[in-house]
Amino acid sequence: QYSQALVHKLEEKNAELAQANQALKRSNEDLQQFAYIASHDLQTPLRNISGFVQLLQSNYAEALDAQANDWIRRTVQSAEQMHTLIRDVLAYSRVDSQALAFQPTSFREVFTDAVAQLETPIRDAGGRVICDELPTVMGDRPQLVQLLQNLIGNGLKYHGREPPHVHVSARLDGSEWIFSVRDNGIGIAPKHHERIFEIFRRLHNQQEYPGTGIGLAVCRRVVQRHGGRIWVTSEAGHGSVFYFTIPEKTVDPP
Ligand code: ADP
């Protein structure tokens, strides 16, 4: 009788847990949908604001005094910044809402695509981006390109006096691939190593290094969706190495 009561209690608890899980999943989906719609719908009025202010700038620059022209210039700058912010929030919400089924994906091709997207910052910084032999994994190709693009992009952006060098490699460790993206940039003090992966977390202001603080949060979401982990080792002033893992065998995305 005692064990029957126990089984009954367990079944009840299990049902409650399943219900709570379902509710959590629903509210997560609602939140993603909200982030997507809000950021998407914000784009149109913002485009109008920048458009009209730019018209003001080009048609009335001579009629306005220096102060008015400076305010217009700052308005245009803020609108551009907000545009970047909305674009990055959209990218963040898309990790789940626009996820593709996993396919065999050559990381060598992922690397080539990511570097092609970064052609301008590489040229502007006089940078060099290289890779060793890279494996094929099961994954969502556009998301893996985004992951590598964000990490290499940061390696190029956060450079010191030297022109940036970024080196991507991978090694098999047990049942997972460990990828590394190494740079020779400004580095990150150990106390920030965990927090930089949080959304909107930045260590610099816009004047020092422009950005939105969303890139590494996107990286973490992409890696977690692929069943892996991401972390950094670095010391301020001595470059950084970002590591992430991808299981060697297929995993079912959550
Ligand atoms: P963003 O670059 O838009 O600020 P990220 O989420 O990509 O946002 O990065 C968060 C913060 O982590 C950055 O503001 C920067 O301070 C730090 N960071 C990221 N990558 C590097 C790197 N390769 N070298 C030094 N600092 C970095």
pTM more than 0.75: yes
CA distance linking residue 84 with residue 202, whole number of Å: 15
* DSSP strand pairing (165-173 vs 128-131): parallel
Q: Report the separation in Å between the CA atom of 170 and the middle of ligand 1, taken as the mean of its atom positions.
A: 22
Name the strand (E) or helix (H) holding 172.
Answer: strand 165-173
CA distance linking residue 95 with residue 225, whole number of Å: 9
The CA distances from residue 186 to 115, 169, 237, 245, in Å, are: 21, 20, 5, 24
164 lines ligand 1 (CB under 6 A): no
Query: What's residue 207's pLDDT?
Result: 85
- What's 23's DSSP letter? H
Strand order of the sheet with strand 128-131?
Answer: 128-131, 165-173, 176-183, 240-247, 230-234
**pLDDT tens digits, one per residue of 7-64:** 999 999 999 999 999 998 888 888 888 888 888 888 889 999 999 999 998 999 899 9
Give the number of the atom of ligand 1 that is nearest the alpha carbon of residue 218.
6
213 lines ligand 1 (CB under 6 A): yes
Instruction: Answer for the pair 226, 139: CB distance below 8 angstroms, yes or no.
Output: yes
Write the residue with the smallest CA distance to atom 11 of ligand 1.
Answer: 202
CA distance linking residue 252 with residue 204, whole number of Å: 37
Query: What's residue 169's pLDDT?
Result: 98
CA distance linking residue 113 with residue 199, whole number of Å: 25
The three-state secondary structure class of 207 is: coil
Query: What's residue 74's pLDDT?
Result: 93
Intervals of the chain under pLDDT 50: none
Take residue 76 and report the two structure tokens written for it: 């245009």
Instruction: Answer for the pair 233, 241: CB distance below 8 angstroms, yes or no.
Output: yes
Instruction: Answer for the pair 214, 242: CB distance below 8 angstroms, yes or no.
Output: no
Take residue 69 and report the two structure tokens written for it: 């022209």
CA distance linking residue 67 with residue 50, whole number of Å: 19
The three-state secondary structure class of 173 is: strand
212 lines ligand 1 (CB under 6 A): yes
Write the residue with the smallest CA distance to atom 20 of ligand 1.
Answer: 154
- What's 204's DSSP letter? S
241 lines ligand 1 (CB under 6 A): no
Candidate from 148, 158, 182, 192 with most ligand 1 atoms within 8 A of CB, to mutate: 158
Instruction: Answer for the pair 118, 153: CB distance below 8 angstroms, yes or no.
Output: yes
